[in-house]
Amino acid sequence: MDNSCCSCVWSDVKTKIDVILEVGRSDSVSKTVQLTENAAVCPGVVDKGNWLGGEKCGDTFAVSQSGSSVTVTRTDSNSGWAMNLRITCAVVPTCPSTKLTTYCSAVSTQEECEQSYTEESPTYPQKCSWIDLNCLSGDGCELPKEDQFEWVQQPHTQCGSTAAENTAAEAAIGRANMSSPGRTDNSHLKPYGGTSIPLAQCQEECLANPMCRGIEVSDNEVEADHASPCCFMYSGTGAGSWTGSCWYIKKNGKVWKYE
């Protein structure tokens, strides 16, 4: 199976397995009956809103359960009841509902889906569903994924920008955040940094800044721990020869720039 196009989804049971509990009439305030399905769970409160049969009287009941043994107690009166009380209970699968979705990096079969989590089972019926998302989307599989960033060095190159990038950057971040708006040979943010820090830290801080699209450093070293003055740029487009380097960013395989 292609694990990139499937998902293990915990979801409500749409066609749950109903079990009808025949309680019947009672001369006393409580009555205990046995379920035919040990795994079934009954509602804790029963009244005209959820009992079977359409009776419209005002009786109300509390339901307690121990395994297949179910005790029904009338709560609106200290007496028995004359109606033929019938309650809908439901079989509860063992699949827990505490996790909404786990993608295929963790599981690859329906069985693994059902075994992925071991938390306590829910009191309301849930189910595990192994879904091939190709069946749900005409365009194929679209799973949420983390963005992938790649740094590309342009040695002996100064950072600049195109006129179109300047216009797009002004619209996106405003002229107040650009050191030299309108210029194509200087794409420094404002403030742009300039402190000497390791290359890896320079790249990390740029990615943490939503306006940053590149860095300019004063040398051409590529070691992650090499320290050099680091400037943050709104564009990593090359703008001519220089003693240092301009680095631009690829986001998910495409040059990340204002456009």
Residues 251, 154 share a domain: yes
Q: Which domain holds residue 231?
A: 149-255
Residues 237, 169 share a domain: yes
216 in Cβ contact with 186 (< 8 Å): no
Instruction: Tell me how many domains the chain contains.
Output: 2
Domain boundary among 91, 118, 139: 91
Residues 158, 86 share a domain: no
**Residue 102 belongs to some domain of the structure:** no
Residues 244, 153 share a domain: yes
**Residue 3 belongs to some domain of the structure:** no
Quote the CA–CA distance of 247 and 187 in Å, as a whole number: 12
Residues 244, 162 share a domain: yes
**Residue 1 belongs to some domain of the structure:** no
The verdict on pTM exceeding 0.85 is no
**Residue 71 belongs to some domain of the structure:** yes
**Residue 6 belongs to some domain of the structure:** no
What is the total residue count of the chain?
259
**Residue 12 belongs to some domain of the structure:** no
52 in Cβ contact with 87 (< 8 Å): yes
pLDDT by residue for the chain (259 residues), tens only, comes to 333 333 444 333 334 567 899 999 999 999 999 988 766 788 889 999 889 988 889 999 999 988 889 999 999 999 999 999 999 887 754 433 333 343 333 444 545 544 443 333 333 333 344 333 333 333 333 334 578 899 999 999 999 999 999 999 999 999 999 999 989 999 999 999 999 999 999 999 999 998 999 999 999 999 999 999 999 999 999 999 999 999 999 998 999 999 8
Three-state DSSP class for residue 28: coil
**Residue 112 belongs to some domain of the structure:** no
DSSP 8-state class, residue 90: E
